């Protein structure tokens, strides 16, 4: 009897299965598309106004104090604004409900601010205005670089070619009393340069949107920094869980308290100073191991928290390859090679960047191919949804043809200003290579501050030689590098990729999100066109902060040395470049072949530069804590302790921003150096 029932059940299952199969051929069930949260005019307006205010505060802090409010790929100033908005928004809930911002509106505002936060700082504005006029000022008669720069720059790209004009001399030495700012002289140059700036940011935005689904859904990157705003602003339950969690507040107060004490020490010397940015002393008086002398041992609470959220192999690889670089330098010294260590490591990194970018694009080849076919042939909504996802940032044609159009637009702009077609092409390709690798480092490893340790234009100079490139190309390649390409702190693509990920996770309409981000980027650039000249003409370069007051002078010296003392690719540098490329390929291959392979290629390509020098110890501490928790308490304990990591991150974001604002009114030394 039981056997008969089993046979009947099995037969029924087969019949049901066959029936469903036949019905599926006749009936196509509609695909359930999640309802997307649209960008409201209220959120857009608030985001634009905050963008302008952020630009004002960022320009003042960066120029006069060199304390940058938008530091980091989880910008401290933006997190600070959200920490203020959340309780204000909660209070609005006691009034008519229509006044309270929805979760989606808060996240739209966060992403809009995040997209533009670095523009009034190291990503663009701190370089462009000072260096543009500086090339004229420091090529004046009687100076070291007399007449070397200006003759190679089209005059319509400069406010003046005369170092004695009010546009140049007043810029550096301050305007005489009663003299107005020569805005008309800036009008045409800024209009022409703005076309280039907009093309660069549009290219990066569209290219980011093109790759976003590949990284989010197919490769499933962690995007560790996006966890913080999503937890802060998430659902009502998530907000209650995070902000009512005592562990979060303990770590918040600990992180904020460290830098509260540091800041108070500047005003009240009797309060002990907590120096969290130390270095080793003389550990080895001589010999190869002296490379470990004066090694930075900085403590950054937010990086400890971020490392706790990372996968173990990624965090391990970052501090491991930092030590490997030191050991490699020690080996070179032991072999009697005591020169050009930095150039040797830079060439390895360039080779690693090229191979890693190529491997990332190769991994995404199927996705890119499908987008290409879709853009060329067009198709119905169902096919578009299969390729681009349910919440694309744009149509296949927009993202693909838009990226190509911006790429060609930049290259044509280069040709118009006199850059040779080959070196202009290398510059744009180099920008994309650097952007995609830096974005990968941030989206997978969550490094708080990171940019390529080499400048693309300088890499071109070192590989081909400025004597072969020519003086005009050398000068103009330097000038066009002052947006994105020159940045040694942050780049735009990681910001935009993270915002697109937040859009996916929170079901924000990503078409509207992309448009909103591009809008605030353009607003920030236009705001800087007014703010930076105004502040500099009002004070003069000599009265600016320690970094901006020397920026143009250092840039002129570097450019002059590039012209007079060109470097050439040596056999040793070529070997280093090829070795870096081969070793990166080996790491990529081993990661794809063996899931448990402990060394991540991101650790190797990010082993050079000031961010890893300062962050290595904090990454090591965060990694060790995570390993210990997983080993002795298990995954659930690690998960339950995540609010501690969020507290460390939020605490320092809050207190550092507070001190930056206080220092604008009551000057004191910065509490943190980055």
Distance CA 600, CA 311 (A): 11
> pLDDT, tens digit, for every residue of 442-480?
999 999 999 899 999 999 999 999 999 999 999 999 999
Select the more confidently predicted residue: 2 or 581. Answer: 581
pLDDT at 19 over 80: no
Residue 27 resides in a domain = no
Band of residue 236 on the pLDDT scale cut at 50, 70, 90: low
Q: What are phi and psi of 280, to 5 degrees?
A: -70, 155
Residue 674 resides in a domain = no
Residue 5 resides in a domain = no
Angle at the Cα of 634 from the Cα atoms of 594 and 616, rounded to 5 degrees: 65
Say if residues 651 and 252 touch (Cβ distance below 8 Å).
yes
Query: How many C-beta atoms surround the C-beta of residue 242 within 10 A?
Result: 20
Angle at the Cα of 498 from the Cα atoms of 638 and 357, rounded to 5 degrees: 100
- Find all residues with CB under 8 Å of 635, minimum gap 6, and list them: none
Distance CA 159, CA 130 (A): 12
- What length is written for the chain? 674
Q: What are phi and psi of 68, to 5 degrees?
A: -100, 115
Distance CA 608, CA 341 (A): 11
Enclosing domain of residue 630: 41-665
Residue 672 resides in a domain = no
Distance CA 496, CA 341 (A): 34
Q: Give 69: exposed, middle or buried? Use CB within 10 Å, 0-12, 13-18, 19+.
A: buried
From 84-93, 236-245, 291-300, 324-333, the region with the lowest mean pLDDT: 236-245
> pLDDT, tens digit, for every residue of 495-518?
999 999 999 999 999 999 999 999
What DSSP string describes 244-290?
A: T-HHHHHHHHHHHHHHHHHHHHHH-TTSPP---EEE---SSSSSGGG
Distance CA 370, CA 400 (A): 11
Query: How many C-beta atoms surround the C-beta of residue 116 within 10 A?
Result: 35
pLDDT score for 642 = 94
Q: What is the mean pLDDT of the segment spanning 134-162?
A: 94
Q: What are phi and psi of 554, to 5 degrees?
A: -65, -40
pLDDT at 261 over 60: yes
Helix, strand or coil, per DSSP, at residue 224: helix
Mean pLDDT of the chain: 91
Say if residues 211 and 432 touch (Cβ distance below 8 Å).
no
Residue 336 resides in a domain = yes
Helix axes 103-116, 41-60, angle to 10 degrees: 30
Half-sphere exposure (CA, 13 Å, Cβ side) for 490? 30
Say if residues 581 and 287 touch (Cβ distance below 8 Å).
no
Q: With CA atoms as reference, report the closest residue to 482 among 209, 175, 124, 141.
A: 124
Residue 673 resides in a domain = no
Distance CA 611, CA 621 (A): 16
Distance CA 674, CA 670 (A): 10
Residue 553 resides in a domain = yes
92-111 per-residue burial string, b: 16 or more CB within 10 A, e: under 16: eeeeeeeebbebbbbbbbbb
What are 160's two structure tokens? Answer: 């003046």
Band of residue 33 on the pLDDT scale cut at 50, 70, 90: low
Q: Which residues pair with 508 in a beta bridge?
A: 37
- Find all residues with CB under 8 Å of 267, minimum gap 6, and list them: 666, 668
Q: How far is CA 46 from the centre of its chain?
A: 24
> pLDDT, tens digit, for every residue of 478-493?
999 998 766 667 899 9
Query: How many C-beta atoms surround the C-beta of residue 499 within 10 A?
Result: 30
Tell me which DSSP letter residue 219 carries: S
Say if residues 37 and 510 touch (Cβ distance below 8 Å).
no
> pLDDT, tens digit, for every residue of 591-649?
989 888 999 999 999 999 889 999 999 999 999 999 999 999 999 999 999 999 999 99
Say if residues 65 and 664 touch (Cβ distance below 8 Å).
yes
Residue 425 resides in a domain = yes
Number of domains in the chain: 1
């Amino acid at each position: 009897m039981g056997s008969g029932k089993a046979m009947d059940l099995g037969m029924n299952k087969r019949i049901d299965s066959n029936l469903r199969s036949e019905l599926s051929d006749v009936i196509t069930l509609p695909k359930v598309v999640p309802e997307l949260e649209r960008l409201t005019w209220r959120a857009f307006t608030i985001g634009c106004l905050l963008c302008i205010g952020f630009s004002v505060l960022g320009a003042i802090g960066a120029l006069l104090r060199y304390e940058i409010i938008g530091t980091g790929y989880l910008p401290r100033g933006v997190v600070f604004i959200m920490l203020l908005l959340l309780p204000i928004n909660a209070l609005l809930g006691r009034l008519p409900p229509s006044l309270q911002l929805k979760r989606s509106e808060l996240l739209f505002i966060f992403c809009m601010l995040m997209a533009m936060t670095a523009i009034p700082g190291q990503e663009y504005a701190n370089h462009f205005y000072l260096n543009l006029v500086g090339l004229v000022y420091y090529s004046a008669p009687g100076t070291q670089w007399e007449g070397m720069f200006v003759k190679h720059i089209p005059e319509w790209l400069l406010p003046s070619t005369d170092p004695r004009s009010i546009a140049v001399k007043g810029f550096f030495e301050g305007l005489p009393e009663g003299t107005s700012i020569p805005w008309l002289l800036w009008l045409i140059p800024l209009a022409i340069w703005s076309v280039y700036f907009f093309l660069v940011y549009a290219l990066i935005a569209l290219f980011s949107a093109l790759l976003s689904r590949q990284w989010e859904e197919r490769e499933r990157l962690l995007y560790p920094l996006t966890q913080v705003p999503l937890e802060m602003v998430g659902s009502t339950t998530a907000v209650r869980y995070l902000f009512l969690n005592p562990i979060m507040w303990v770590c918040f107060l600990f992180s904020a308290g460290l830098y509260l004490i540091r800041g108070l020490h500047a005003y009240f010397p009797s309060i002990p100073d907590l120096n969290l940015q130390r270095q080793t002393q003389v550990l080895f008086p001589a010999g190869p191991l002296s490379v470990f002398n004066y090694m930075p041992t900085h403590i950054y609470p937010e990086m400890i928290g971020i490392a706790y959220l990372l996968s173990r192999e990624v965090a391990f690889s970052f501090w491991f390859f930092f030590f490997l670089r030191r050991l490699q330098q020690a080996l070179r010294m032991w072999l009697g090679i005591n020169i050009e260590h930095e150039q040797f490591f830079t060439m390895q990194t360039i080779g690693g960047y090229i191979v890693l970018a190529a491997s990332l694009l190769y991994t995404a080849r199927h996705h890119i191919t499908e987008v290409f076919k879709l853009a060329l042939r067009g198709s119905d909504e169902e096919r578009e949804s299969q390729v681009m996802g349910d919440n694309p940032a744009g149509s296949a044609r927009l993202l693909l043809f838009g990226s190509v159009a911006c790429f060609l637009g930049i290259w044509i702009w280069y040709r118009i200003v006199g850059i040779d077609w080959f070196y202009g092409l290398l510059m744009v390709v180099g920008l994309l290579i650097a952007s995609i690798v830096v974005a990968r480092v941030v989206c997978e490893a969550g490094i708080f501050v990171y940019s390529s340790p080499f400048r693309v234009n300088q890499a071109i100079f070192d590989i081909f030689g400025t004597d072969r490139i020519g003086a005009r190309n050398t000068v103009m390649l330097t000038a066009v590098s002052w947006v994105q390409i020159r940045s040694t702190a942050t780049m735009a693509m990681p910001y935009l990729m993270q915002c697109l990920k937040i859009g996916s996770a929170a079901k924000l309409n990503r078409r509207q999100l992309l448009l909103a981000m591009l809008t605030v980027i353009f607003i920030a650039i236009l705001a800087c066109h007014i703010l930076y000249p105004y502040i500099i003409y009002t004070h003069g370069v000599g009265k600016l902060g320690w970094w901006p007051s020397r920026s143009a002078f250092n840039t002129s010296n570097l450019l002059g040395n590039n012209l007079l003392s060109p470097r050439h690719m040596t056999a040793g540098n070529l070997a280093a470049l090829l070795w870096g490329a081969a070793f990166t390929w080996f790491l990529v291959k081993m990661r794809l072949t063996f899931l448990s392979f402990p060394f991540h290629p991101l650790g190797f390509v990010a082993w050079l530069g000031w961010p890893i020098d300062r962050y290595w110890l904090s990454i090591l501490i965060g990694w060790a804590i995570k390993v210990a928790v997983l080993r002795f308490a298990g995954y659930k304990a690690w998960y339950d302790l995540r609010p501690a990591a969020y507290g460390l991150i939020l605490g320092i974001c809050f207190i550092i921003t507070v001190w930056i604002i206080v220092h604008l009114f009551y000057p004191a030394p910065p509490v943190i150096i980055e």
